[in-house]
Amino acid sequence: MKQSVGLYQEQSLRLAMTQELKQAITLLQYSTLELVDFLKEQSLENPLMDLKEPNTHRELASSRVQRLKPKKIGTTTTQTFSIENFSKHGETLHQFVEHQLVDTLMTSEEKQLAKRIIEHMDENGYIQEPNAIAKQLRTTPDIVETLLNSIKQLEPAGIGAANLQECLLLQLRRKSARDEVAEAILENDFTLFAEKAWKTLAKKYGISLKEIQLIHDEIVKLNPRPGNRYETTEKPKYIIPDLIVQRHQNHFVVSLNEEIIPQIKINKQYESALKSKNELENYLQEKLQQCQWIVKSMEHRKHTLVKVMEEILHAQQSFFFNGPSFLKPLTLKDIATRLEIHESTVSRATKEKYVQTPYGLFELKYFFSQGLSGGHDEEKSTKQVQKLVEELIKKEDKQKPLSDQQLTNLLQKQYHITISRRTVAKYRDILNIPGSSMRKRYD
């Protein structure tokens, strides 16, 4: 059987991923901080790229650059400290504690060993596993325990504790007006206290529920992380909004936050070399092309981010006019369809991006959520329902807090939203709000 040999023509369609397209896609998914780092790195490798850095003082002073905020727990936020609580000289917790060893009655050898123990203190001020520390320092557990007891007498109150229970107990014992019942409860019945088994505790200690409530109110004023008010070796994390939405009378304007992004310019010192016909000219032409690609990619990133945010603004007008409680269901596909772009492009444009709004700083992903069916053919977003759950709990009678079933009934009655009790419980957990029994007060 003979095999025929010949030339055949076949037509096929392929999408070539050019270097310029790859660059544009990469820059689109960068956050502002990542973009700045990328540009600085490229400028070090490319002699033609000249970056004009923004003023550092303007960057830090701008209200659009925000420190990471404390996580929300239920209807309250975690404790924050005023500027007076921070070390004036930028001392770390380890340095602050070690400096206090000078005034102790320890011998020089004990002080050196105590410094080694303090090195094992975590950022919250806890020192755990003293036996393991003794083994590492090649000493006995008794010596470590003795020195650890001395460290626990230093400032801030609560440092050196092995766990939360001991940390709170150390602080309670430092108070000028000692409360023996409160100390006994923390020392012997911490789990019952944390679980708010107050009737059991009231019966055991022969006190009223109101007295238990007062003890609770005093204990929650203590600092569970006494070390976190001091400097750490890590740099503070900042959230820098990529976009800004500002209200102008009855409409909103979207702009890119370009205040902290370096401006790219071509270094004019190499213009004459670009006109010469030698190897240097070829090298510089390549670098010039790279620089031009980055400029184009930056423009593409800016255009895409602004267009995506404008569509989010259009879809979530009720949010921007009335607040977070009016967030509507929205998907990445909705935005992609309106802009006639791929859904993955929207995903990259919203990944780790933040927008400054009249209601605060929000991650772009915040504006996307699935819908829930409500009465009167109305749809509610899951985030909107979570907000309603939070508001209902905030307004409840703290002596008779709402159960999950009662919350379910109120959502149906007041807002025509039909969801299960289990879903309400799930939303409450997402919001870090404890159950009704844990929220009850006995004032």
For position 232, what pLDDT does the model report? 58
Q: Which two tokens stand for residue 383?
A: 């985030």
Q: For position 88, what pLDDT does the model report?
A: 38
- Token digits of residue 43: 């400028």
**CATH architecture of structural domain 371-439:** Orthogonal Bundle (1.10)
SS in 3 state form for the chain?
CCCCCCCCCCCCCCCCCCHHHHHHHHHHHCCHHHHHHHHHHHHHHCCCEEEECCCHHHHHHCCCCEECCCCEECCEECCCCCHHHCCCCCCEHHHHHHHHHHHCCCCHHHHHHHHHHHCCCCCCCCCCCHHHHHHHHCCCHHHHHHHHHHHCCCCCCCCCCCCHHHHHHHHHHHCCCCCHHHHHHHHHCHHHHHCCCHHHHHHHHCCCHHHHHHHHHHHCCCCCCHHHHCECCCCCCEECCCEEEEEECCEEEEEECCCCCCEEEECHHHHHHHCCCCHHHHHHHHHHHHHHHHHHHHHHHHHHHHHHHHHHHHHCHHHHHHCHHHCCCECHHHHHHHHCCCHHHHHHHHCCCEEEECCEEEEHHHHCECEEEECCCCEEEHHHHHHHHHHHHHHCCCCCCCCHHHHHHHHHHHHCECCCHHHHHHHHHHCCCCCHHHHCCCC
Rg of the chain over Cα atoms, rounded to whole angstroms, equals: 30
pLDDT at 67: 46
The two three-digit tokens of residue 253, written as one number: 């304007």
Task: Output the six-digit token pair for 352.
Answer: 């780790």
Record the pTM. 0.56
- Backbone phi, psi, residue 373, to 5°: -75, 130
Q: How much is the pLDDT for 384?
A: 83
347: closest CA among 332, 368, 362? 332
- Give the span between the Cα atoms of 308 and 345, in whole angstroms: 10
Please give the Cα distance from 21 to 18 (Å, whole number): 5
Phi, then psi, of 180 in degrees rounded to 5: -65, -35
Q: pLDDT of the chain along its 443 residues, tens only?
A: 555 555 555 554 444 456 667 778 888 988 888 888 899 998 888 888 888 876 543 444 344 455 444 333 233 333 333 323 333 346 789 999 999 999 888 999 999 999 999 999 999 999 999 999 999 999 999 999 999 999 999 999 999 999 999 999 999 999 999 999 999 999 999 999 988 898 999 999 999 999 999 999 999 899 999 998 876 555 555 678 899 999 988 899 999 988 878 888 887 777 666 666 666 777 878 888 888 889 899 999 999 999 999 999 999 999 999 888 788 889 999 999 999 999 999 999 999 899 999 999 999 999 987 766 555 445 677 888 888 999 999 999 988 999 999 999 999 899 888 889 998 999 998 888 988 888 888 87
**Boundaries of every domain in the chain:** 90-187+221-229, 241-367, 371-439
* Cα–Cα–Cα angle for 438, 181, 127, rounded to 5 degrees: 75
| CA–CA dist 201, 197 (Å, integer) | 7
pLDDT value of position 209: 92
Distance CA 387, CA 129 (A): 42
Residues with Cβ < 8 Å from 347, sequence gap 6 or more?
Answer: 332
Instruction: Work out the end-to-end distance of the chain between its first and last CA atoms, rounded to an integer number of angstroms.
Output: 100
Hey, what are 69's tokens? 């905020």
